[in-house]
Structure 1
Amino acid sequence: MTDIVDTAKLADRVSALVEAARKAGADAADAVAMLGRSTSVSVRLGKVEGTEASESEDVALRVFVGRRVASVSATASADPAALAERAVAMARVSPEDPFQGLADPSRLARSIRDLDLFDGTAVPAETLKETALAAEAAALAVGGVTNSGGSGASAGLGGLVLATSHGFVGRYVATRFSRSVSAIAGEGTGMERDYDFSSRLYYSDLDSPETIGRNAGERAVKRLNARKAATGPVSVIFDPRVARGIAGHLAGAINGASVARKTSFLRDMMGKPVAAKGVTVTDDPLKPRGQSSRPFDGEGVEGMALSMVEDGVLKHWFLSTSAARELGLETNGRGVRASSSVSPSSTNLAIEPGEKSPEELIASLKSGFYVTEVFGQGVNMVTGEYSRGASGFWIENGELAYPVSEVTIASNLKDMFLNMIPASDLDRNFGTAAPTLLIEGMTLAGS
């Protein structure tokens, strides 16, 4: 695994880009370098299907001439002077944008926190292969599993180095290790597929390949002999794997850029109830070892932990500098750098847990639908309309009775959030985390 000190050279390069931009006539500028390293191995039925290794170091320069802005991207070895001259020339003929600009100097991180994001463990390709094979073998050993959908393991890192003409220079690197496996149960048209995975910043924190394989196999077997359910109103319990998607929809709806563009169904709801009373949604960029932690955002601003929704009431938007200015607000350090552009996004987002266990939520229903998978693109973030294909298990008299597939569940996200009851089983090992969720008042389309 590449050592963190490699970013020192990139810090010099982005600083040189900013200096070249000022010499070329820019009033202000920032430059970012993004580095990546990864190795992955995929296997199927005991044989290696692919081994991949990649390395990248890219830079992006953003320049401001008055209220005009332009950005250019290149490899890290590009000539700073030539890149800066091209960017400034582009800015001078670009339309004015009153909301663009560097973050206020007073908001920049004064020191770079160590969030424990880097694990120097070296994992050779041979070890990744053995791990993937072990996970697949554990899945195939489950009774009822008839085939493998493949297994994989990977190790890598990603880093960001930022320099601004205000004098800010910051850098950090985060590692990422993962394991996954897909299992197939049954035969012919009755086959079912399911999966499991583990992804962590530290190699020692990963779930074992045997656990991942066994979970995938058991999940696939449980889905055999699925039925359709009757069309009608239904109370739906979302498994955490699916509930994380619901949390993601909420994050998208309170994104400041979407609010400014008037493309969010929650754009007029600041300070109003958007979720059931008692529901709290937090976001914390400074969580140690967090999957989406960062000591500063894509503009050099250190964010802080926020309750985005508190007791059901919307308290904050996710804001970068430009989105904040367009809304007449101040950035809260949620700007994400994607090459030469910056846009707001969540960090370590979590729907906070409730008091009841998942078993208690299931037991509370005489009938209902426990959803383990959704598919399709039926989510409209402008209106909130929600319609997804789904599969899972039917609930009868407070227990999971039989598997269900080939049905559709529908509602509006506004109503879903207002009728959402979180369970107590929150797993924070995800950048977007959610516990099991009960949502009443949805509609099921089946037989």
Structure 2
Amino acid sequence: MSDSLRSLCDDLLTAAKRAGADAADAIALAGTSVSIDVRAGALEQAERSEGTDIGLRVFVGQRQANVSASDTRAETLAEMAERAVAMAREAPDDPYAGLADPDQLARDPDIAALELMDPTPEPDPQALQQDALAAEAAALDVDGVTQVQAAHAGYGRTDIWLAATNGFSNGYTRTQRSLSAVAIAGTGTGMERDHDGDSRIFQADLRSAGNIGRVAGERAVAALGARKPPTGRYPVVYDERISSSLIGHLLGAANGASIARGASWLRDALGQQVLPAHLSLIEDPHRPRATASRPFDAEGLPTQRRAVVENGVLTGWTLDLATGRKLGMPSTGNAARGTSSPPGPSAWNISLTQGDRTRDDLLRDMGTGLLITSMIGSTINPNTGDYSRGASGFWVENGQIAYPVNECTVAGNLRDMLMSLVPANDARPWLSRVVPSLLVEGMTLAGA
């Protein structure tokens, strides 16, 4: 497949030059996905899709335009190039647009070391269905579970090739295997639901269907009898299931696109302390078998390990070429793109320094407060960092879980929240965001 994608990209670049482009880059994606859903012991839905998508970005002077298609015929490639060049000639000048210099490009990256593709054959639909049925059965075996809303098993493979007129041409293949279940406990207005799931590159790494179904069922049963917590100012523990959302807000504010627009509560924080001094936030796009690993970015630059925050201090922004040029900084090799839009900066694998205590230790130290296991909605002021989100989980008294809670809101300011973080030691190392449970002091709760 890589040879055909490489040929597609080469043909797009040739067509772009023939149509009058000064420079161009092309991306081609070929994907296969299989999705199986079961319910009540029977197949509910089965889907399989295959397709190839292509994207072309052209430059005419300092003007650029992007076009995409899923038709790979030669006449379509020529039409795409002509349309893109015509669009670029009408676009405004962008002094920051342009390809990487040849000496910036990734050279012979060790793609195999990243283990992005499971070499075992694609699972057949019957095997996926059996996994989904096993997850459903395990959830139903949990006392108190009344039904399973859905059990899902899936497989996907994506072949990627990127080429540009600056000489870059390379690609790789990524696979994904997933399994999940959504369980419902109770009846009528007292029903509660929860879920569990896993997604891995390698089939052999996927958690068992029985474990996933059982955990989904136990979580749903544990939520029965939920009520609103008291209103007031309390400490909060973000369970490891959702703690990465807090770090996601930090990453969003440190994204070069937000900084270049001036729409970030971290815009003046470069070189300042944003986390406790013993915590660092490390990006490593070279972790084997991690879903966000990649050998090069969407502009052909080598990816690299870097400290976003080191010993509590914000060390830099997440940049692609264009945002780096706007800010007078080099790209950090973080360009991401699909076929229908130009590159933009995005963070890869992220890990936060873990603590030396368990989640139960954090609850004990918290005394009285809220353990959050699920969040809905989001109101974040991008300029001030003011934060408000709907939450559910468990009320904690005297360091012990007392009862489930829902229909409450937690609020604070992200700068203050992040500076008070106390991490546990329970992060899952295979995730793209390795973040443990986090204790945050002094949150405002709106409940009963």
TMscore range, shorter length: over 0.9
1:425 aligns with 2:426: yes
Q: Report the Cα offset of residue 24 of structure 1.
A: 2.3
Partner of 1:270 in structure 2?
Answer: 270
> Contact 1:279 / 1:421 at 8 angstroms: preserved in 2?
no
Counterpart-to-counterpart distance in 2, 1:205 and 1:295: 21
Q: Which residue of 9, 12, 17 corresponds with 2:12? A: 17
Q: Report the Cα offset of residue 93 of structure 1.
A: 1.7
Q: Which residue of 96, 99, 102 corresponds with 2:99? A: 102
1:236 aligns with 2:221: no
Residues 335-372 of structure 1, C-alpha deviation per residue, up to 9 Å, x if partnerless? 00122310000111122212222121111122111111
1:116 aligns with 2:111: no
| Letter aligned with residue 93 of structure 1 | E
Counterpart-to-counterpart distance in 2, 1:10 and 1:329: 33
> Contact 1:318 / 1:345 at 8 angstroms: preserved in 2?
yes
Counterpart-to-counterpart distance in 2, 1:75 and 1:146: 44
> Contact 2:159 / 2:173 at 8 angstroms: preserved in 1?
yes
Q: Report the Cα offset of residue 253 of structure 1.
A: 1.0
1:51 aligns with 2:46: yes
Counterpart-to-counterpart distance in 2, 1:43 and 1:297: 37
> Contact 1:281 / 1:349 at 8 angstroms: preserved in 2?
yes
May I ask how many residue pairs the two structures share in their alignment? Answer: 442
What secondary structure, in the 3-state scheme, does the structure 1 residue paired with 2:285 have? coil
Partner of 1:358 in structure 2?
Answer: 359
Q: Report the Cα offset of residue 19 of structure 1.
A: 2.2
1:366-405 paired onto structure 2 within 5 Å: 366-405=367-406
Identify the range of structure 1 (251-260 vs 111-120) with the bigger mean alpha-carbon deviation: 111-120
Counterpart-to-counterpart distance in 2, 1:357 and 1:416: 20
Identify the range of structure 1 (112-121 vs 257-266) with the bigger mean alpha-carbon deviation: 112-121
Counterpart-to-counterpart distance in 2, 1:421 and 1:168: 44
Identify the range of structure 1 (414-423 vs 372-381) with the bigger mean alpha-carbon deviation: 372-381
| Letter aligned with residue 396 of structure 2 | I
Counterpart-to-counterpart distance in 2, 1:405 and 1:232: 15
Q: Report the Cα offset of residue 138 of structure 1.
A: 0.2
Q: Report the Cα offset of residue 246 of structure 1.
A: 1.3
1:68-83 paired onto structure 2 within 5 Å: 68-75=63-70, 77-79=72-74, 80-83=77-80
Counterpart-to-counterpart distance in 1, 2:79 and 2:137: 54
1:334-345 paired onto structure 2 within 5 Å: 334-339=334-339, 340-345=341-346
Partner of 2:348 in structure 1?
Answer: 347
Partner of 2:256 in structure 1?
Answer: 256
Residues 219-244 of structure 1, C-alpha deviation per residue, up to 9 Å, x if partnerless? 11111112221111010001111102
| Letter aligned with residue 117 of structure 1 | L
Q: Report the Cα offset of residue 428 of structure 1.
A: 2.4
Counterpart-to-counterpart distance in 2, 1:326 and 1:319: 10
> Contact 1:19 / 1:165 at 8 angstroms: preserved in 2?
no
Counterpart-to-counterpart distance in 2, 1:130 and 1:363: 41
Partner of 1:29 in structure 2?
Answer: 24
Cα 1:180–1:116 shift into 2, 3 Å: same
Counterpart-to-counterpart distance in 1, 2:51 and 2:262: 36
Identify the range of structure 1 (224-233 vs 318-327) with the bigger mean alpha-carbon deviation: 224-233
Counterpart-to-counterpart distance in 2, 1:272 and 1:237: 25
Cα 1:15–1:257 shift into 2, 3 Å: same
1:62 aligns with 2:57: yes
Counterpart-to-counterpart distance in 1, 2:185 and 2:80: 55
What secondary structure, in the 3-state scheme, does the structure 1 residue paired with 2:380 have? coil
Q: Report the Cα offset of residue 377 of structure 1.
A: 2.4
Partner of 2:87 in structure 1?
Answer: 90
Counterpart-to-counterpart distance in 1, 2:73 and 2:33: 23
| Letter aligned with residue 384 of structure 2 | T
> Contact 2:284 / 2:304 at 8 angstroms: preserved in 1?
yes
| Letter aligned with residue 261 of structure 2 | R
| Letter aligned with residue 167 of structure 1 | G
Q: Report the Cα offset of residue 209 of structure 1.
A: 0.3
What secondary structure, in the 3-state scheme, does the structure 1 residue paired with 2:241 have? helix
Identify the range of structure 1 (285-294 vs 112-121) with the bigger mean alpha-carbon deviation: 112-121
Partner of 1:199 in structure 2?
Answer: 199
Counterpart-to-counterpart distance in 1, 2:204 and 2:145: 29
Counterpart-to-counterpart distance in 2, 1:76 and 1:350: 39
Q: Report the Cα offset of residue 319 of structure 1.
A: 0.6
Residues 197-230 of structure 1, C-alpha deviation per residue, up to 9 Å, x if partnerless? 0100000100000000000001111111122211
Counterpart-to-counterpart distance in 1, 2:343 and 2:33: 24
Q: TM-score, normalised by structure 1?
A: 0.97
Identify the range of structure 1 (323-332 vs 239-248) with the bigger mean alpha-carbon deviation: 239-248
1:326 aligns with 2:326: yes
What secondary structure, in the 3-state scheme, does the structure 2 residue paired with 1:9 have? helix
Counterpart-to-counterpart distance in 2, 1:204 and 1:76: 35
> Contact 1:371 / 1:390 at 8 angstroms: preserved in 2?
yes
Counterpart-to-counterpart distance in 2, 1:420 and 1:366: 16
> Contact 2:256 / 2:317 at 8 angstroms: preserved in 1?
yes
RMSD value, Cα: 1.2
What secondary structure, in the 3-state scheme, does the structure 2 residue paired with 1:11 have? helix
> Contact 2:5 / 2:160 at 8 angstroms: preserved in 1?
no
| Letter aligned with residue 369 of structure 1 | L
Q: Report the Cα offset of residue 36 of structure 1.
A: 1.4
Counterpart-to-counterpart distance in 1, 2:391 and 2:90: 50
Counterpart-to-counterpart distance in 2, 1:24 and 1:260: 33
What secondary structure, in the 3-state scheme, does the structure 2 residue paired with 1:184 have? strand
| Letter aligned with residue 97 of structure 1 | D
What secondary structure, in the 3-state scheme, does the structure 2 residue paired with 1:386 have? strand
Q: Report the Cα offset of residue 76 of structure 1.
A: 5.0
Q: TM-score, normalised by structure 2?
A: 0.96
1:445 aligns with 2:446: yes
Structure 1: 5+ residue stretches without partners: 1-5
Partner of 1:3 in structure 2?
Answer: none
What secondary structure, in the 3-state scheme, does the structure 2 residue paired with 1:378 have? strand
Counterpart-to-counterpart distance in 2, 1:159 and 1:53: 16
